[in-house]
Amino acid sequence: MAKKKVQEKKKFDNPNVIGLHAAVLEQPITETLETNFMPYAMSVIVSRAIPEIDGFKPSHRKLLYTMFKMGLLSGSRTKSANIVGQTMRLNPHGDAAIYETMVRLSMGYQALITPFVDSKGNFGKVYSRDMSYAASRYTEAKLSAICAEVFRDIDKDTVDMVDNYDGSMKEPSLLPTAFPNVLVSANMGIAAGMASQICGFNLNEVCETAIAYIKDQEHDLFSTMPAPDFPTGGEILYDRAEMESIYRTGRGSFRVRSKWRYVPSENIIEIYEIPYTTTSEAVIDKVAELIKANKIREINDMRDETDLGGLRLAIDLKRGVDPEKLMQKLFKMTTLQDAYPCNFNILVGGNPKVMGVGEILDEWIAWRTDCVRRRVYFDLQKKKDKLHLLKGLEAILLDIDKAIEIIRNTELESEVVPNLMMGFKIDQIQAEFVAEIKLRNINREYILKRTAETEELEKAIEELEGTLNNRRKLKNIIISELQQINKKYVIPRKTTIVYASEVEEFDEADTVEDYPVTLFLSREGYFKKITAQSLRMSGEQKYKEGDALKLSFESSNRRELLIVSDKQQIYKVKLADLEDGKASTLGTYLPTKLGMDPGENVVTMIDPGDYRRDVLYVFENGKAARIAMSAYETKTNRKKLVGAYSDKSPLRAVLVLDEEKDIALFANDDRCLVFHSSLLQTKTSRGSQGVAVMNLKKQKLLVEARPLSETRIQNVSRYRVRNVPGAGALLKPEDKGEEQLSLIE
């Protein structure tokens, strides 16, 4: 490692600052990352963004524990501002961040299936982007009933207690949740270099699954927990293979779509549940954008009629519109149907780990077993301590008068306990207990009642010791608690499961009118799409001064078009998205329409058809690359493909090979070469540099390539080569297609 170098800067020119030096410390980048970035990154991962096995982030835990210590589990609500202020003793990140955390955990916001904050007032809604929550001074909150299971036996040393940020008080490192909250509560966090996205599941289904999984590790998770559940409802388009992958690996995505109903009397569609990942405003904005772009013409108006009764988006339909077909279209084009990405990244023992559902249950069961073991050990020690005191009472049972006499005859108070210890052969703790008995309780009846508990305590201690050393008994306790929770908190599933194979998907081609069109492309990049009827009625094609026709062919309005640029990019456009034109207009300027980069120009256009043909790229350096057109077939609606062909040499021609044919190449030294396209092998890599076809002389370039059938070459055998590369031959005048001028008198 290089030594650190310190370079002193010049003294400041300011005369008021005398003797002040500034130093610049130079050090290797690896050391900078290790000493500066890594501690920060680990702090964000461990202490902020990634949830732990109890299902909470530190901010959630600090807020809920503060509310618990404030007595808000059983007490009445208090102002949210009070809670925020108290929480700052544990979470010094500002009141706004704390209040936002409370809002997300609240019942009113509806972000969680099992909210932990019983709220009163305006807490906003998770399905609304613009519905802001009220200030903390106006709202009230307390802990919801389910928090009794979150904090169960927290005072019995079930979890570790650590110092807060200034060491003034203790806080739990985890909360001893009696159910797998890590699967129940949806959670999302972005850390440094990693993220976490956990979808929520139904509480009752999770409890049933955990119980069955504890009993049998081979339990089929899908039989009790078929899919996630969201507080916003909606429908999951269920794909068993897709869901199995998520359950197994902890990664993947699935689709969720809105619920709707048609009201014939008003000719409107009501949307009353939307995906968890979107908002009502985002949906309305997208629909308005599609209407403006003329991509949706079936809607008169769309309104947000959400009220205290819940979400309601109303869509006014035009007369004769099929609501089912329209909703299929909206599902395809808006976030009324959206994908939910899963990344089950959880902190286990301080280390982030992506786990599947079964592995998460394994970790939770192991952690919860440890919590129960600690609670049993705590109860055991308490009972042993009590038994120890009662044994001391038994020692004085036969001679109470002796105990009184010892206390009465002791001159100094500090000697009472030592004298009792010597008089009855008991230890200091027992002697302290005997000495603290009230005068009214120094009777045989009281002592007999207390010592009668000894037998019960001994039985309880024996039972607790047996439980402590028996993993099966510890798991039975967990099962019993899960059964109680499952019975006490009944939460119906809100998200419906619909099998994806039974759902009819929107096919955009069905809604696009199909008719024959003729396409025209000018040399300067102007494009026209003209219908057959308009073409019959039109006159001469109009172009800008100095411009002319470059290419034209017939196609269909439902087809796609590939536009090749001179910057190694291909633009995919649907002909239906381009307006029909007329011969009398200049047409659409493609570089502007497609949003091309400055200085980027159109080379040609291609009708890809079924993407089963090949494209031949001919370059200035004499090379040619034959690329399968399937390399440009994308399943997504990508409109721009970068790196469409090699950038090693300027492009001179693009030819579509419908079939094997002869190709003529022309160089700027009047040489020509003819070869058969079958000599070139098809490549699937778009960036292929191709193979040398025409050997060029020094400082000579290939300038043109055309199918032989489109040239005026007569002496074909003179220029034909059987193998590539070849040199070709000088063009004869008759093969150039030039006619001599003659003067006619």
- CB neighbours of 662 closer than 8 A, spacing ≥ 6? 674, 675, 676, 677, 707, 708, 709, 716, 720
Residue 60 has pLDDT above 60, yes or no: yes
Residue 143 has pLDDT above 90, yes or no: yes
- CB neighbours of 619 closer than 8 A, spacing ≥ 6? 625, 646, 648, 649, 650, 651, 652, 690, 702
Q: What is the pLDDT of residue 506?
A: 62
Q: How many CB atoms lie within 10 A of CB 291?
A: 16
Q: What is the pLDDT of residue 511?
A: 60
How much of the chain exceeds pLDDT 70, in percent?
A: 93
How much of the chain exceeds pLDDT 90, in percent?
A: 59
Say how far apart CA 115 and CA 186 lie, in whole Å. 11
Say how far apart CA 367 and CA 555 lie, in whole Å. 66
> Position 459: which residue type?
K
Residue 42 has pLDDT above 80, yes or no: no
Q: Please, are residues 316 and 299 in contact by the beta-carbon 8 Å criterion?
A: yes
Which structure tokens are listed for 105?
Answer: 């955990």
- CB neighbours of 659 closer than 8 A, spacing ≥ 6? none
Q: What mean pLDDT comes out for the span 352-358?
A: 94
The residue among 475, 495, 479 whose CA lies nearest residue 487 is: 479
Say how far apart CA 205 and CA 287 lie, in whole Å. 36
Residue with tokens 């559902």: 357
Res. 6 pLDDT band, cuts 50 70 90: very low
Which structure tokens are listed for 717?
Answer: 């055998």
Say how far apart CA 656 and CA 610 lie, in whole Å. 13
Residue 635 has pLDDT above 90, yes or no: no
Q: Looking at the whole model, is its pTM more than 0.75?
A: no
The residue among 462, 444, 464, 461 whose CA lies nearest residue 452 is: 444
Determine which one of 40, 109, 127, 138 is catalytic. Answer: 138
Sequential DSSP letters for 325-362? HHHHHHHHHSTTEEEEEEE-EEEETTEEEE--HHHHHH
- CB neighbours of 649 closer than 8 A, spacing ≥ 6? 619, 620, 621, 623
Residue 103 has pLDDT above 50, yes or no: yes
Give the strand order in the sheet containing 651-657: 651-657, 614-619, 623-628, 691-692
Residue 347 has pLDDT above 60, yes or no: yes
Of residues 549 and 434, which shows the higher confidence score?
549
Give the strand order in the sheet containing 78-79: 78-79, 140-143, 117-120
Say how far apart CA 303 and CA 282 lie, in whole Å. 12
Say how far apart CA 634 and CA 572 lie, in whole Å. 10
Residue 2 has pLDDT above 50, yes or no: no
Of residues 260 and 454, which shows the higher confidence score?
260
**Residue-wise pLDDT tens digits, 590-628:** 999 998 999 999 999 999 988 889 999 999 999 999 999
Say how far apart CA 75 and CA 21 lie, in whole Å. 61
Say how far apart CA 130 and CA 282 lie, in whole Å. 10
Angle subtended at Cα 168 by Cα 166 and Cα 171, rounded to the nearest 5 degrees: 90
Of residues 284 and 534, which shows the higher confidence score?
284
The overall average pLDDT reported for the chain is 88
Q: What is the pLDDT of residue 742?
A: 36
Q: What mean pLDDT comes out for the span 292-307?
A: 89
Instruction: Give me the phi and psi of 36, to 5 degrees please.
Output: -110, -50
Q: What is the pLDDT of residue 512?
A: 67
Q: What is the pLDDT of residue 393?
A: 77
Least confident of 50-64, 266-280, 448-462, 545-559: 448-462
Q: By CB neighbour count within 10 A (0-12 exposed, 13-18 middle, 19+ buried), where does 368 fall? A: buried
In the annotation, is 138 catalytic? yes
Residue 513 has pLDDT above 80, yes or no: no
β-bridge partners, 497 = 236
Half-sphere exposure of 406 (CA within 13 A, CB side): 20
Ramachandran quadrant class, 66 (left: phi over 0; alpha: psi -120 to 50; beta: rest):
alpha
Q: What mean pLDDT comes out for the span 374-389?
A: 92
Say how far apart CA 132 and CA 702 lie, in whole Å. 65
Q: What mean pLDDT comes out for the span 297-320?
A: 91
Domains of the chain by start residue, with CATH: 5-41 (no CATH), 50-177 (3.90.199.10), 259-335 (3.30.1360.40), 364-488 (1.10.268.10), 610-736 (2.120.10.90)
Res. 21 pLDDT band, cuts 50 70 90: very low
Q: What is the pLDDT of residue 533?
A: 84
